[in-house]
Structure 1
Amino acid sequence: MAKVFTHMTMSLDGFIANPEDEVGELFEWYEAGGVNVPNPNETVTFQVDDASAQVLGELTGNCGALVAGRRLFDIAHGWGDKHPAGAPVVVVTHRAPEDAATKWPTTTFVDGVEAAISRAKEIAGDQDVTIASAAITQQALDLGLVDEVCVSLVPVLFGEGIPYFAKLERGHLLLDDPVVVQGRRALHLRYPVRR
């Protein structure tokens, strides 16, 4: 059965970017090995270790749609309409770019997290949906829409920056025991959300 995952790379102290919205050393694990993980975006390369290649393969291999926030979409310039996950992107925004249909034809712009997850599930069909945005993850967890939380934990302390997790509106959320994969420059953790 298709699932809704979240995935972010995070510092040991819980940040996905520094205060200037830069990832710093967080993405070093994407270049820390000799295994090439192909993706449809020719501007992005993944040269990871064997364990991380397996993790990336599991996260992207059955990804039928990806949900992102407008801020991340703008920072990444819409990934040139070719997200490295190889799936169509659904962007949560109150206002789509004026040239969206011509510049990003495989991207869908939706107002609201619940509507975005619903649309992503339609697009994905029997495949999984991955959320790749801290703010969208937060809201989707509050709405009870996430099946599994995935974190690639990097051995760096930022001390400050943009957190992956913040206060949940619905309060305490219990996760099941993690699946743990030790990669080079990242510890990959997958936590099923307890229902």
Structure 2
Amino acid sequence: MGQLVAIMSMSVDGYVADPDDGVAEVFDWYFGSGDVEIHTGGSDPMTFRVSEASAEHIRGLASGLGAVLTGRRTFEVAQGWGGNHAWGPAFVLTHHVPAGWPRPDSTVHFVTDGLESAVAQAKAAAGEKSVGVHGADTIQQCLNAGLLDEISVDVAAVLLGSGVRLFDHLVGTPSILGNPTVSHGVGVTHLRYPVRTA
């Protein structure tokens, strides 16, 4: 079975969104940092325009993913990805299924019986591929439960000053990560850290 990989874009000072859940500043590098086009697919397709180094990073990461695990807040901000996430079926950890969901022909699934169940369902759907984990709270829960295998963080060249932190509410710290792989894009640095198990 594949790994559980946290995937987030973050400001230099550690924020993944501003106080109003806005993510424009930490995601700007996806849409104007280079001339290489990447088409995301899914129900709500986007076209990224990034540097060659960032394109290589995105392709390498995305090609290894078979499913996505995320929280309700990220689902809401992303407007449900139009019903089909570009990286495979999406499993949304939530206390209750939102009105109007599930939808026909959608690959978005709602898990109301806890983190372990959500991880198991996402891993089963991903098969031999990895599961990408979105959302600060879901990533924190996975870290605290010792379930994450890797942290992939894209550090955007911006300081937000306040907002939603990626690494708040951690237990068992300090937690020593493995040596990162590093690639430098335009306006962003891509870091991939293996998570050491205790």
Instruction: Select the residue among 178, 181, 186 that pairs with 2:180.
Output: 178
Distance 1:82 1:183 in 2: 28
Deviation at 1:103, TM superposition (A): 5.2
Q: Would the aligned equivalents of 2:21 and 2:77 in 1 still touch at CA under 8 Å?
A: no
- The equivalent position to 1:120 in structure 2, one of 119, 122, 136, is 122
Q: Is the 8 A contact 1:120 1:129 kept in 2?
A: yes
Within the alignment, does 1:21 sit opposite 2:21 as a pair?
yes
Partner of 1:90: 91
TM-score, reference length from structure 2: 0.93
Number of the residue aligned with 2:39: 38
Shift of 1:157: 0.7
90-99 or 165-174, which deviates more = 165-174
- Bigger CA drift: 56-65 or 181-190? 56-65
Aligned residues: 194
Unaligned stretches of 5+ residues in structure 2: none
Correspondence for 2:53: 51
Q: Deviations over 1:70-121 (max 9, x none)?
A: 0110111101012233x11000001012432325621111122221111100
Letter in 2 for 1:176: G
What amino acid does structure 2 have at the position aligned with 1:15?
Y
Q: Decide whether the 8 Å contact of 1:78 with 1:104 is kept in 2.
A: no
Percent identity over the alignment is 39
Secondary structure in structure 1 of the residue aligned to 2:153: strand
Give the one of 137, 144, 148 matched to 2:150.
148
In 1: Cα distance, 2:145 partner to 2:89 partner: 23
- RMSD between superposed Cα atoms in Å: 1.4
Q: Deviations over 1:142-162 (max 9, x none)?
A: 111100001100111111111
